[in-house]
Amino acid sequence: MGAALLPDAAFGIFPRFFNVPRHPLICRTTSATSVRKRNFFFGDKRISKSSLIVLSHLNDSDDKLTDVVVDQDDVIGIEDELVVTKKALSEAQHRQEIIEKERDQLLEELARSEAKKQEYITTILHDKEVAISELEAAKTLFQKKLEDSVEEKFNLESKLVLAKQDAVDLAVQVEKLAEVAFQQATSHILEDAQLRISSAETTAAEAAHLIENQIKDAIEGTISSIVEKSNHAIERALVVAEKAEELAKKSTETFIDGTSPFTEIAAVEAENIKLQGIIIDIESELMMARSQADKLKLELENTRQQLQAFEQRANDAEKALLDFQESSRENILQREEEMKSMLEKVKKDVADRTKAISKAFKADLKNIKATVEAAKEVVHCKDYAYLRRCEALQRSLKSSEDAVKMWRQRAEMAESLLLKERLQDEGDADSIYVVNGGRIDLLTDVDSQKWKLLSDGPRREIPQWMARRINAVSPKFPPKKIDVAEALTSKFRSLELPTVDEVWSIAREKPKEGDALIEHVYERETIEKKRKALERALHRKTIQWQRAPEQTKLEPGTGTGREIVFQGFNWESWRRRWYLELAAKTADLSNCGVTAVWLPPPTESVAPQGYMPSDLYNLNSSYGSVEELKYCIEEMHSQDLLALGDVVLNHRCAQKQSPNGVWNIFGGKLAWGPEAIVCDDPNFQGRGNPSSGDIFHAAPNVDHSQDFVRKDIKEWLNWLRNDIGFDGWRLDFVRGFSGTYVKEYIEASTPVFAIGEYWDSLGYEHGSLCYNQDAHRQRIINWINATGGTSSAFDMTTKGILHSALHNEYWRLIDPQGKPTGVMGWWASRAVTFLENHDTGSTQGHWPFPRDKLMQGYAYILTHPGTPTIFYDHFYDFGIHDVLTELIDARRRAGIHCRSSIKIYHANNEGYVAQVGDALVMKLGQFDWNPSKENQLEGSWQKFVDKGPDYQVWLRQ
């Protein structure tokens, strides 16, 4: 805002008494005469005279009254009075000149203040630009140093890779056992170095950003305060000037409109008095302006001091940054030396371990061979003994057949003899016989050897299993008779003995419990089982030696790193005997490449789906009984599948009401009370501590800060692991409690794999999905960090982005750093990707995936790092079983795991192209692309899956 100049009329009202401004009615008249009756007031006197005043205008450039003609006698008195008036006017003129000088001084001071303000602003802006340029230079230097450190890290990694290759070459000579030990010894060191480097980068970036914000805030605040105060002072000066201008205009108008100078003299005197007051006001305003200017100077001085302080801070920060870089360089060098020494030590240890392992392995192989030879010898001996026994049994059966023929003849002879004697001695009670179960027990007075032979015969005792078989094949044997009259009147006289074929069928019958050959059969079956178990163990050990190092690294957050999870239920599965149905599909799942099956919640529940558990130890649920659950898990284990249990730890439904009618008393083995419920759950009057997460309002929220609660949960999880057979966990609604408790539960129950469900809303703007979803995936990362990385989490971010990205918005699949935009892009090993589950899909449909983009979605998650999950409905009900199996096969052939590298080549409206690992390239979308069109892709590529405009997959030959 520039300085405003006041008009001359404001301070030059009456230069001289007879200098009259031009007026249209006066200044343009050459001469005029008039006789008027006027009343003059001068001081306290009133003059009333008639006079003739002649005004003559001689020159337009000189506005003076040259001729005054008065026809009266009082001209001399009037002239005296005019002299006095001239004196007064001269004094007023002098005062006006003083006012003009003060005005000019004020304007000059304002102009100087404005110039100084502009100078200060220019200086501050210049200092700001200098500071920003210095910060940019420091930032560039830091980036350069960071790139150097990253390059050093890559060099170190390359050295480690070379060392790893050396170790692998050495391990190949001793059947590749050293590779596993080397990887286990070096992986933690690399991870620690990467974490420390990332931490240093984050700390430096935060420090630079904080310094830049402080300088920016201080400069902007100082400039704004100076501008506001300067504008305020200028506005006040302008207001005073406008007031003075208005008073001057009024005075001018009064002088022009008046008809006598004597009248105007009094008005001028009054106006002079007013002007004196205005002058006083102006002087006070001037003093205030000066004080404001002094304050501005002080503030500018303070601002300069603050700028100097900020510069000092920036210098200190730069110095600290340089010190930090120097210390980082020294630490890196020291760590490099340590790692070199450690690598030497590792190599030495690996060599020693290799020798020891080789020696132990050779001894084990020798023992295993001896065991196998001994087992074969035992099996051969047992088989020989079994054959000898079978031959003896055959000879015994043949002799039995001959005996049967002989006894048939004897029986016929006995029957004919008995019939003949009965006819001869009918009515004689001396011979009484009873037919009993195929044998003839004769009760006669004469102890005849003949009848005794017929009665007993040269037989050995019949085994029970043979007796059961004989009874089964000869149901028509006559019943035992104990009454002589019944025996005499019975019409059944023939003896129906088993035929030869029936006797041989007894020999071919498999022995039952208690048979003579049962021990031999059991021994043979036991040996056969041990032999198969030994073969499987040797096969698994061979497979382990051939696997990549990532596959042998087992931890609950990643499993083996190559897991493919199958959700084995939907929202309506509880309506059938689900465990039995799922057990029948385990062989198919294993053949298709699935490694882990996520089972429904196993506990008794208020809701049939299982997510409102009550008695945790009661596993008879809507999905089946506890025996059926164990059978299902056994079938999975027989197919080398992991069984993941869906455990609900956030809430639990009570079985009893408190005296005031609130359901907060738990039953069963874990009989908790209100102290096990968080106190900020508004519906259940808990007496525990506040919740460490969000409240689930449908059931009492468990207070995990209580020691007895954590102890009971850990015992329950170990019971599920050891007694029921679960291998890992799917953790429901983990937003409800802190991840630190999850870490404690996982460390206590040691699952093979654990997944947390952290379902949070994505960012939307005006109804559309925002491109930047860093805040959403950061919340999931924070929960995983809280668990210490012991658990993975479902990648809700990737699912939400895929909903929009697959509708020709493939640019959503890459972030500004060139990485995937979900949790997969920041922590792929802990990201469990999926498209749908029992909540988002099935009959609930809370967040269903676009049906027409389903295969594109599976092509994305099954070919990318992380751990992919397949939904039951898609696999068995949507008709894409074989296509998903083909994608799983492509993932297996390319060796993709949860930590595989990814490089994105294209991500725009037309499509998406990425290379995953070293052996797979995939494309989404309709644009024309193949590996031969990409200059950065080397090698020979063969198309493995071709689904036209939807997706295509190439594998390196």
- What would the DSSP string read from start to end of 565-628? EEE---TTGGGS-HHHHHHTTHHHHHHHT--EEEPPP-S-BSSTTSSSB--TT---BTTB-HHH
Number of Cβ within 10 Å of residue 213's Cβ equals 10
Question: Are the beta carbons of 752 and 725 closer than 8 angstroms?
Answer: no
- What would the DSSP string read from start to end of 658-685? -TTS-EEE--SSS---GGGB-TT-TTTT
SS3 string, 334-365, reads HHHHHHHHHHHHHHHHHHHHHHHHHHHHHHHH
Residue 589's nearest CA partner among 611, 570, 567, 574 is 567
Three-state DSSP state, 921: strand
Residue 319's nearest CA partner among 129, 132, 141 is 141
Q: How far apart are CA 947 and CA 954, in angstroms?
A: 12
Report the run of H or E that residue 277 belongs to, with start and end.
Answer: helix 261-424
Q: How far apart are CA 779 and CA 507, in angstroms?
A: 72
Length of the chain: 957
Whether 757 is a known active-site residue: answer yes
Identity (one letter) of the amino acid at 64?
A: K
**From 646, 681, 732, 836, active-site residue:** 732
SS3 string, 414-478, reads HHHHHHHHHHHCCCCCCEEEEEECCEEEEEECCCCHHHHHHHCCCCCCCCHHHHHHHHHHCCCCC
Residue 185's nearest CA partner among 353, 23, 46 is 353
Distances (CA, A) of 509 to 186, 466, 502, 517, 518: 61, 9, 11, 12, 12
Q: How far apart are CA 158 and CA 623, in angstroms?
A: 53
The CA-CA-CA angle for residues 267, 273, 277, to 5°, reads 140
**From 757, 795, 873, 950, active-site residue:** 757
Structure-block tokens of residue 606: 């208020």
Composition of the chain by helix, strand, coil, percent to 5: 55, 10, 30
Q: How far apart are CA 769 and CA 772, in angstroms?
A: 9
Spatial CB neighbours of 11, under 8 Å, sequence gap ≥ 6: 96, 99, 100, 103, 244, 248
Burial of 10 (0-12, 13-18, 19+ CB in 10 A): buried
Question: Are the beta carbons of 46 and 40 closer than 8 angstroms?
Answer: yes
Q: What are phi and psi of 580, to 5 degrees?
A: -70, -40
Q: How far apart are CA 451 and CA 462, in angstroms?
A: 21
Report the run of H or E that residue 953 belongs to, with start and end.
Answer: strand 951-956
Helices and strands (DSSP H and E) totals, the chain: 21, 21
Structure-block tokens of residue 736: 């409800």
Whether 100 is a known active-site residue: answer no
Structure-block tokens of residue 853: 């983009």
The conformation of residue 272, written as its DSSP 8-state character, comes to: H
Three-state DSSP state, 704: coil
191-197, long-range: CB < 8 A, 24+ apart: 193/153, 193/156, 193/335, 193/339, 194/153, 197/149, 197/150, 197/153
Q: How far apart are CA 679 and CA 697, in angstroms?
A: 13
Instruction: Please state the separation of Cα 926 from the chain's center in Å.
Output: 30
Active site residues: 732, 757
